[in-house]
């Protein structure tokens, strides 16, 4: 079983298990080899039923929230595009859940292949680094996973109800509010599942970079032809492994394409929806949720920022390989040994053509540059939204004054 044979996957196992409880990903145990095939089929059948029950819960919560938003729009008498925006934002909850469930169904084998590739790459990289004293003891992967994912998981689960519970208003009863909070948190946790796999790839890249740096140190004082041949073989092995990591990144991007597109779309529309209602409630003195709305928008943005930041860090680590290869190529021992020099040139060309990018099916890249562009886009739509609302309110006041004078 990959989770048991791989230390990296075993470290990520608790987080993946939590995501499977929220019906965001199949249980990691389902990808392992076990002698109890009949029991495994029963467990998977039970999990499929559980996932369908979660999907039915999302449909129910969507219906309740749509009814509530219609009542709220009628009471506030803001039946312009506010109703359309609100209904679209609520319907996206169900669309996201359907997309995630279909993704688990149709990409089940692809996810199993990702687990297998991570386990195989970890074993190969550890084996390749044994000649250079093994891996360096940096901050452990467990610690970085806890800081990058675990801490934000706790904050997200704790702060999301704090900011959104009262903002739902009196149009939804408390049991439905609790179920709505469960669904809202569940949708945001899909981003953390993506972050776990990005950190796994980042760890593999760091280990290969550590091996490459050791190769550079060995070549500084190397004057033996036999040693140069051995280092050439090690360099070629490192090149093949980084190519496999690049392919793993492509598989990961393909698996999360639909889910991440829906998450970015939902969070962006939700921010506009919350901003719209914040502007509407500025004309009421009894608005008690203005700070909660700001907190909600901040949580949604930080959740996306985390995925972009971790992806950017992994990409930067991968992009540091050409610089290290250039430094190796400038060493005197490499210049005098033609096979090694040619191998470094081939490695450099590979890194130039196989660029590690975390992308959503080519629609956009998940990095800090795209996050900045998304912020500018949301700000632009917010300004347009407020201008439209100001114009509508001015026209309404003019009509009411005109009717009162006539």
Cα atoms in the Cβ-side hemisphere of radius 13 Å centred on 198: 28
Q: Which residues contact residue 187 at a Cβ distance below 8 angstroms, ignoring those fewer than 6 apart? A: 93, 96, 97, 263, 266
- Lowest mean pLDDT, pick from 12-21, 49-58, 278-287: 278-287
Say which residue, 54 or 228, is predicted with more confidence. Answer: 54
Output the pTM of the full model.
0.90
Mean pLDDT for the stretch of residues 108-119: 93
User: Mean pLDDT for the chain?
Assistant: 85
How confident is the model at residue 221, as a pLDDT? 77
Concatenating the DSSP letter of every residue in 232-301 gives HHHHHHHHHHHHHHHHHHHHHHHHTHHHHHHHHHHHHHHHHHHHHHHHHGGG-TT---HHHHHHHHHHHH
In this structure, the chain runs to a length of 406
133 three-state secondary structure: coil
The listed range with the strongest mean pLDDT (122-126, 312-316, 335-339, 351-355) is 312-316
How confident is the model at residue 150, as a pLDDT? 93
d(CA 111, CA 106): 10
**C-alpha angle 81-85-89 in degrees, rounded to nearest 5:** 170
From the centroid of its chain, how far is CA 246? 18
Name the residue ranges covered by the structural domains of the chain.
2-405
Per-residue buried b or exposed e for 166-197, using 16+ beta carbons within 10 Å of the residue's own CB: ebbeeebeeebbebbbebbbbbbbbbbbbbbb
pLDDT tens digit string along 34-84?
Answer: 555 677 777 888 899 999 999 999 999 999 999 988 888 877 776 667 788
How confident is the model at residue 237, as a pLDDT? 92
Say which residue, 28 or 323, is predicted with more confidence. Answer: 323
Q: How sure is the predictor about 386, in pLDDT bands with cuts at 50, 70 and 90?
A: confident
Q: How sure is the predictor about 33, in pLDDT bands with cuts at 50, 70 and 90?
A: low
How confident is the model at residue 141, as a pLDDT? 87
How confident is the model at residue 1, as a pLDDT? 43
Say which residue, 104 or 291, is predicted with more confidence. Answer: 104
> Do 242 and 125 form a contact (C-beta atoms < 8 A)?
no
How confident is the model at residue 391, as a pLDDT? 58
């Amino acid at each position: 079983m990959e989770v048991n044979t791989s230390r990296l996957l075993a470290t990520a196992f608790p987080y993946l298990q939590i995501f499977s409880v929220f019906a965001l990903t199949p249980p990691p145990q389902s990808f392992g080899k076990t002698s109890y095939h009949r029991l495994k089929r029963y467990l998977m059948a039970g999990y499929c039923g559980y996932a369908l029950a979660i999907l039915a819960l999302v449909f129910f919560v969507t219906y309740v929230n749509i009814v509530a938003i219609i009542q709220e729009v009628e009471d506030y008498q803001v039946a312009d595009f506010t109703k359309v925006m609100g209904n679209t934002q609520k319907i996206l909850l169900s669309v996201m859940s359907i997309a995630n469930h279909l993704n688990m169904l149709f990409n089940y084998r692809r996810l199993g292949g990702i687990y297998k590739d991570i386990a195989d790459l970890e074993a190969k990289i550890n084996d390749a680094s044994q000649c250079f004293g093994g891996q360096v003891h940096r901050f452990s992967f467990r610690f970085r996973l806890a800081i990058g994912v675990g801490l934000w998981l706790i904050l997200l689960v704790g702060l999301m109800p704090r900011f959104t519970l009262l903002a739902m208003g009196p149009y939804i009863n408390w049991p439905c509010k609790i179920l709505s909070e469960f669904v809202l948190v569940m949708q945001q946790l899909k981003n953390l599942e993506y972050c776990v796999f990005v950190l796994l790839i980042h760890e593999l890249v760091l280990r290969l970079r550590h091996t490459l740096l050791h190769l550079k140190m060995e070549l500084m004082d190397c004057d033996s032809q036999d040693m140069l041949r051995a280092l050439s073989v090690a360099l070629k092995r490192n090149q093949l492994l980084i190519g496999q990591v690049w392919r793993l990144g492509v598989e990961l991007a393909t698996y999360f394409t639909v889910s991440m597109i829906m998450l970015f779309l939902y969070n962006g529309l939700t921010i506009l929806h919350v901003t719209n209602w914040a502007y509407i409630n500025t004309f009421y003195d009894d608005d008690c949720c203005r700070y909660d709305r700001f907190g909600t928008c901040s949580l949604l943005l930080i959740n996306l920022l985390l995925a972009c930041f971790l992806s950017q860090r992994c990409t930067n680590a991968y992009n540091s390989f050409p610089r290290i290869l250039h430094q190796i190529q400038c060493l005197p021992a490499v210049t005098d040994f033609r096979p090694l020099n040619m191998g470094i040139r081939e490695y450099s060309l590979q890194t130039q053509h196989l660029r590690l990018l975390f992308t959503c099916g080519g629609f956009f890249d998940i990095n800090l540059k795209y996050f900045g562009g998304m912020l500018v886009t949301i700000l632009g739509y917010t300004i347009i939204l407020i201008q439209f609302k100001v114009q509508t309110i001015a026209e309404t006041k003019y009509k009411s004054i005109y009717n009162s004078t006539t």
